A and B are shown apart, each in its own frame.
Chain A
């Protein structure tokens, strides 16, 4: 298997090349089948790699070739499939192939069908590089690659100017984070002389704490960009401009988790500096709460999901912040399941509604879209932490770990999860229950999606239900913390953390579940029994208005960052560009023109004058030679 590791990213690349180059000529079902099959092939190979790692307990690695060699630095195209990588690979290729399958149905009317699959394959390729590379350079390569694909896919319907702008915003926001990542990598390179994980981790013992903190913070800046944390989160909700499968694959399940992966991968570094972890935890907590508050007053079905993604990513960062890397990975996995499920479900809803995304115009869809409704219900239950669903276990574990660390953070996080439960249920009930509020045409048009779309939904629903059993807490069943054990060999924990006793854990779990149930019942009462609907934008007052407008963060960024830069650029444009550069260029042009006009008289075509000039020229040459 070691030799075949390269095939895993290579297959989607081949798919990308074929679809990208010949896709226009190929029939749609060939393009779709090819795009899906290559990813599925990667999934099978990843599964084989996973089984092998599981059996031997040893990481697989394979160096394909040396990429570049400059002045003592050597970078290889080398792949590593350890416990962490294989987990990510399985998520990426598994959910990826489901979403490819879904896209066949969802995109079948789109003109850019082949382009869409080419981009998706390219994305899978980049993402696999990101998680499979055995050095930070390949990680960075994949990191940029997924950023590019994200840009391309958000702006997939580029004829719409707003979508193009959203794509650009995502790209620029990501660049800010990338700068941090790059600086961090430069510092690592300077210290370790290599970017290979193995060598970097080996050199950590000689790293000073200040430097480690610095690197850790810089890498975290990169992670906030990609994983949409405060302050760089604003691109993710706008990224919903892309087609829904893209939102599911890139902006919920895989790409945005790259930041988590980066930090887990560098866990040895972060465990050296608990202060940095503390910062990460607080940033994550703030994001979880803040995004949740915004989500409460959003009426666009995808926007709600987007903010909930930001919020859930915040949960994961909180878990990282308290040093519970495997817990973060656990939540990452379950979140990938249920968030992909819900995005795909929302795609199915949008598909049925003929492009309508406003939940105020939906309602009562449960009768027409039975499969979508049921699977969406599963996803919603999972995210609110309904007992025994996947989200219940992972969220609960995060809460428990946070309680170990600090009860105050626990309280705030519990509040965040209550908010999550509230807005998710609000969206769910408004969409699927009550009476239909859309136009008559839409009501007539309502239909269940084709099998290629509902099949991924069902698979994901099963995963969302059962995913929690990957890692059942120790106090329920001894030795069933599979994921925790699985990742033990690749992550380094902060030493000296104590554990809670079982009764406390039971109590925490009870509190969280009770809260989820209370909110479930109360929202049901509010939105189904009393049939209240979301208020129109102009009826909102005070804090609600602020929440509806996303706390004016975009406007804040605009006036604090964008406006001054524009002003400076304008100044530079007018003074330096127009004044100095254009001025000097024009001056040279003008002077040549004037001189040419004057010297034109010399060129009278008469040989004797030319001879005279020649003699004078020789004269001056000799003067320079002899006299001067």
Chain B
């Protein structure tokens, strides 16, 4: 490997993304699930920056910035919800959250 190209970043980002997906599916602790979601978001961010550099277009990086904004808000609200859930169920197990079927 003489030079790093966008393809390498694609492979890396895909790997990270799939790890994140696997984490979301496998873990039952809601906090870890939320962390894995962050991981997926970061994988996408990485890809965006890579393509932004490749195309010499700053829009990609701006969007990464906005994704971070949304992610921060999401984490804040998501964690608040988790605290609520914990308060009611004494647990953060997502398997217990099966009220959707009613």
Chain A interface (Cβ < 8 Å from any Cβ of B): 603-608, 610-612, 615
Q: B101: which of A603, A611, A612, A615 is its contact (CB, 8 Å)?
A: A603
Question: How close is A70's CB to chain B, nearest CB, in angstroms?
Answer: 53
Chain A positions within 8 Å of B98 at CB level: 604-607
Say yes or no: B99 contacts A605, CB within 8 Å: yes
Question: How close is A336's CB to chain B, nearest CB, in angstroms?
Answer: 78
B47 at the interface (CB under 8 A from A): no
Interface of A is mostly: helix
Say yes or no: B25 contacts A605, CB within 8 Å: no
B97 at the interface (CB under 8 A from A): yes
Question: How close is B13's CB to chain A, nearest CB, in angstroms?
Answer: 15
Say yes or no: B97 contacts A606, CB within 8 Å: yes
Say yes or no: B97 contacts A615, CB within 8 Å: no
Q: Which of B25, B28, B102 has the most CB of A within 10 A?
A: B25
Chain B positions within 8 Å of A604 at CB level: 98, 101
Cα(A494)–Cα(B101), bound, Å: 87
List 27 A-B pairs, Cβ < 8 Å. A603-B101, A604-B98, A604-B101, A605-B98, A605-B99, A605-B100, A605-B101, A605-B102, A606-B94, A606-B95, A606-B97, A606-B98, A606-B100, A607-B94, A607-B97, A607-B98, A607-B100, A608-B25, A608-B28, A608-B94, A608-B95, A610-B100, A611-B24, A611-B25, A612-B25, A615-B21, A615-B25
Chain B interface (Cβ < 8 Å from any Cβ of A): 21, 24-25, 28, 94-95, 97-102
Chain B positions within 8 Å of A608 at CB level: 25, 28, 94-95
Cα(A607)–Cα(B94), bound, Å: 7
Chain A positions within 8 Å of B101 at CB level: 603-605
Chain A positions within 8 Å of B24 at CB level: 611
Chain B positions within 8 Å of A605 at CB level: 98-102
Question: How close is A13's CB to chain B, nearest CB, in angstroms?
Answer: 62
Chain A positions within 8 Å of B21 at CB level: 615
CB-CB nearest in chain B for A604: B101
Other contacts beyond A605-B99, A607-B97: 19, CB < 8 A: A603-B101, A604-B98, A604-B101, A605-B98, A605-B102, A606-B95, A606-B97, A606-B100, A607-B94, A607-B100, A608-B25, A608-B94, A608-B95, A610-B100, A611-B24, A611-B25, A612-B25, A615-B21, A615-B25
Cα(A467)–Cα(B21), bound, Å: 102
CB-CB nearest in chain A for B28: A608
Cα(A608)–Cα(B29), bound, Å: 11
Chain B positions within 8 Å of A607 at CB level: 94, 97-98, 100
Cα(A611)–Cα(B24), bound, Å: 8
CB-CB nearest in chain A for B98: A605
CB-CB nearest in chain A for B100: A605
Chain A positions within 8 Å of B94 at CB level: 606-608
Question: How close is A611's CB to chain B, nearest CB, in angstroms?
Answer: 6
Q: Which of A603, A607, A610, A615 has the most CB of B within 10 A?
A: A607
Cα(A607)–Cα(B24), bound, Å: 11
Question: How close is A601's CB to chain B, nearest CB, in angstroms?
Answer: 11
Chain A positions within 8 Å of B95 at CB level: 606, 608
Chain A positions within 8 Å of B99 at CB level: 605
Chain A positions within 8 Å of B28 at CB level: 608
Chain A positions within 8 Å of B102 at CB level: 605
Question: How close is A618's CB to chain B, nearest CB, in angstroms?
Answer: 9
Cα(A605)–Cα(B99), bound, Å: 6
Chain B positions within 8 Å of A615 at CB level: 21, 25
Cα(A610)–Cα(B100), bound, Å: 10
Q: Which of A606, A611, A612 has the most CB of B within 10 A?
A: A606
